[in-house]
Homo-oligomer: A and B are copies of this chain.
Amino acid sequence: MTKNINIAILGASGYTGAELIHILLAHSHVSIKALTGDSSAGKDIAEVYPHLRFKDLPKLITIAQVDFAKIDLVFCCLPHGTSQPVIAKLPKHLKIIDLSADFRLADPALYKQWYGHGHQAVALQKEAVYGLTEIHRAQIKKARLIANPGCYPTSAQLPLIPLLKAKAILPGGIIIDAKSGVTGAGRKVAQNMLFTEIDGGINAYGIANHRHTPEIEQGLGTTVTFTPHLMPMNRGILSTIYVKLAGKNTADDLRAILLKAYKNEPFVHILPEGISPSTHQVRGTNDCVIGVFADRIKGQAILVSVIDNLVKGASGQAVQNMNVMFDWPEETGLQLTALFP
């Protein structure tokens, strides 16, 4: 077991970067050695994130200025599409956890179809391990490059994968209706992300064409209907998932399967019958909490899963993957209690 490692965060001025800093400041095996920011290089982190002013952190620099020889692991928090060329050039001794979508789709053709341009690092795409920790732990342990899952896909796959694997639900007709907090959009400065435009309302977006759809489908091995919604809160995704029961399975059977699948998992929790989860209870934590309900319509069930999109849906799961890669207890730095209220 490695005792201590040095890490760099590329793209530290976005929300997933800030959340990594938040978590890693309390992680017992990690030193934050480099933070990069494109337009913010040269600035103190306090200028970018006032809440980090009084922490002992390096200045923001450019990627070119990072001395990677002293770094053991890189968290790459660059925007989608820009990670590929950067990661392709990184020294080979580095372990890399990429929080963008760039390496999540294993099939280059699928990538091109959804992102509109060819992948620029196909060999790495092949090497990358999809970092849904509970499902791919064994491969993550040996991986050099992790494609950290998207927030919506995490919230959808954790409840669905064990049920599909157990053939307790049908692969067809799955509907995922997801409601997300605004941090899911990152720190993008756009009119539709202004407080004035978000507060007090909700809308669906990316209906039938959101880019997280192929990622979910790759994980599930089946096509799905996926509708994301943007709502006025900062953190949290709640996915309401409609499934068709296979054979004589009941909602109680589904719950039992999930309870068994996750019984030793520290971060995935299945609620008792009749209890519905709220995103409140996972805010600031790496937890995924799942409720299972019988529908009134025979042969159908409803799953509700909640995560904090910035933690289990991004930076927390990234740290969880790091813990796996370095053989530390998986909960290191992640024994978090929800901030409520």
Contacts and interface: CB of A to CB of B under 8 A. Distances in A.
A339 interface: yes
Contacts of A339: 22, 283-284, 339
B22 A196 contact: no
A198 B15 CA distance: 14
A229 B240 contact: yes
Interface string A235-248: 11010101000000
Contact of A191 (B54, B182, B189, B235): B189
Interface in A282-301: 282-284, 287, 291, 293-297, 300
Contact of A340 (B18, B224, B275, B293): B18
Nearest to A196: B341
Measured as residues with beta carbon below 8 angstroms from the partner, the interface class of chain A is 35 or more
Given A199-B341, A201-B233, A284-B339, 17 more contacts: A51-B340, A54-B269, A175-B175, A177-B240, A179-B229, A195-B234, A199-B232, A199-B234, A200-B234, A200-B283, A201-B278, A203-B238, A207-B302, A208-B293, A224-B297, A235-B341, A242-B242
17 contacts: A25-B337, A49-B340, A175-B242, A177-B240, A199-B233, A200-B234, A200-B283, A202-B238, A202-B278, A203-B276, A203-B279, A203-B280, A208-B294, A225-B296, A225-B300, A232-B232, A232-B233
